[in-house]
Structure 1
Amino acid sequence: MTRMSRSLIVQIVGAVLLLTAAGTAWFLGTQGDGEGAAGGPGGFGNAPAPVIVAEARSDTVVERIEAVGTARARETVEVVAELDARVVGIGFEEGQRVTAGTVLVELKDSREQALLREAMARRDDAEAQLKRARQLLQSRNVSQARVDELRSEFDAAAARVAIIESEIRDLQIRAPFDGIVGLRDVSPGAYVSAGRRITTLDDIDVIRIEFSVPERFYGRLRPGLTVTSRTAAFPDRAFTGTVSRIDSRIDPATRSVRVQAEFPNEDGRLRSGMFMAVQVDLEERDTVILAEEAIVSQGERHFVFVVEDGHAHRREVVLGLRRAGEVEVRTGVLAGQRIVTEGVDRVRDGGPVRTLTADRSDAPQGSAPGAGAS
């Protein structure tokens, strides 16, 4: 190989090496700029990552149980006839409010009245004979055995009078408590048999709503808890009551416990049988609230980035209740701390950040809008 050939080869190899070195330097330089600008791990630069932050704030949250239930009257009864008889009088209007003792229905009692007069006559006669016998007993003109016999006859006659008087009272059907009567099922002149329903009577001054609560909440239930309820009949109104009774047993089929709540109902809006949506307030507490998009989840663990002195620091947090667009933080963050809400994918633990406002055109993309902090 000639000297000229060797020189040409050396020049070519040198040029190739030079180009290779220049290309490598250019490639590494551009990669380093990209990583550094992003602030990601492994970057060659240290440019602050653009983020939007919001302050964690104090707020009050209420932990609730949601259920459905049915409204019941505090007291309810079917008014029925106790004897076979004919209806001779109706003493109420349907839907009327009545007081305890009001005569609702009168049944025919002419036969019982006649029997009562006969029984009273027998009782009076037995009483008169007993008095005469006691007088004769003092003069020994009658035996003690005869006096005792007459005493038994008088007691039997008096008992017969009491029985008939009770039957007559039963022929006057009265309201057992204050309440509102329902529709009547009989008409004047109708013959009713014992047990026949006449009407219904409901005490709705206080309404009871019965509902079921999952077993896991049983230990936190107690009488006096606030209950809010709504019904489709009055969609714009919320009714407020309190837990009054908790069943002593858990239903093994549904793994739930029955609960009763009482609601004042002076205006009578709520009626027995209504379908009710129920919320039970278990606990009201002051806590820290964050925007939901600030949370970074890794399996069952959750983190946020707290911005301090221009750097982002990752903190593990324990979450609580969730509501629209927000989440409760039980531990890990204090109210007033600045939390990254947008751009969390650009941030590394301890890395520098540059805070933007929510309306900046260079705000990080791919996250839901959040509150800005400057």
Structure 2
Amino acid sequence: MSTIYPEKLTPHQASLDIKEFWRTLVQQRYLIFLSIAIALVISITLSLLTKPIYRATTVIEIERQLANVTGIGALNADDPRDNRDFYQTQYELIKSRSIAKEVIDKLNLAKEMQPSGLKANIKNLLGLKSEPDYEGIFIEGITVEPVNTSRLVRVSYDAGSPQQATLIVNTLAEVFVQSNLKRSARTAESARTTLMQQLDKIKADLKISQQELADFSNEHAYINGKPQEVFKKEKLLEQLDETLKEIQTLRSKKANAENDKDNEDDEKALSDIESELNIAVKKEQNLRVEISKLEGDINSNKNNNLQYEALQEAMKTSKVAYSNLQQKLKNINIAGGYSASHFIVVDKAVPPRKKHRPNILLNMIFGTLLGGLL
């Protein structure tokens, strides 16, 4: 039994004949040239009839403020995600409706954005006229392009004339920088107001604590932070120390006098020494009694001491808090214009020499390809 192969069952398909294809192109060359010519004419005509658009570009440096000069809050400069969020926020702020409205009002662009043409006229006749979205129209002309591995960003605006595009994009950059200054000023003013309120409260608390401490000191006879009994005890201890030294000296004299006793004069001298010694010993005893009594008074007034220490600590805490808030307020006043210096217009836009669109050369190439395909 013989085997039947597939190639014997199907006809052989001829491969593409390059020569035949070229022969066809040559035969249809006039039609192809005509199609290309028509496409070129149409593309050039449309390019010439299309309203030219010019793009002006300015460069802004956006430097993140890292120094926490106000002492209120802190920026985590080490977190890449935090940095990305910050810069992306700035890019979106450039295209925000609030900044767009400010530029439109400043340059009086609303008149130039009024809708015109057949569609607008029909709407007016039918009473369907509505207020244009000026901010939306304006934002469509903005292009924001961050420069890689830098803190620079290119901000461009597309308009119908080189001068208008330049004026608008420079004004946009100026408004953006000024808006950042205003936001910084509002933040600083808000922080200043908060600190002033805190300062007033701390100042009142400090005044109250100082008055309470003074009243307590007067009532319980505290001098330089110590009760009066402590100073009396310290004075009595000094007297006791002097008395003990005196007693020691008299006892030495008595011992010498007893050894040298030869006549009545020596007897009299010894008697005088003994009399002085007895007086000194009596004085020592009295001093010890007074000191013991004062120690009892001091121990019985421990609660007063604890209360005084608490009042003193409260006053110190209020003083430290007041001093810290004063320093923060000073830092805020110094930092008033600090962050604005980190949003700088590096290069102002100049009127562009060439149209951004339509691109006649690109349209001609596209028309040629399209005509050839047809």
TM-score (norm. length: structure 2): 0.29
Q: Give the structure with the larger helix fraction.
A: 2
Q: Quick one: higher RCO (CA 8 Å, sep 6+), 1 or 2? A: 2
Structure of greater Rg? 2
Q: Give the structure with the larger strand fraction.
A: 1
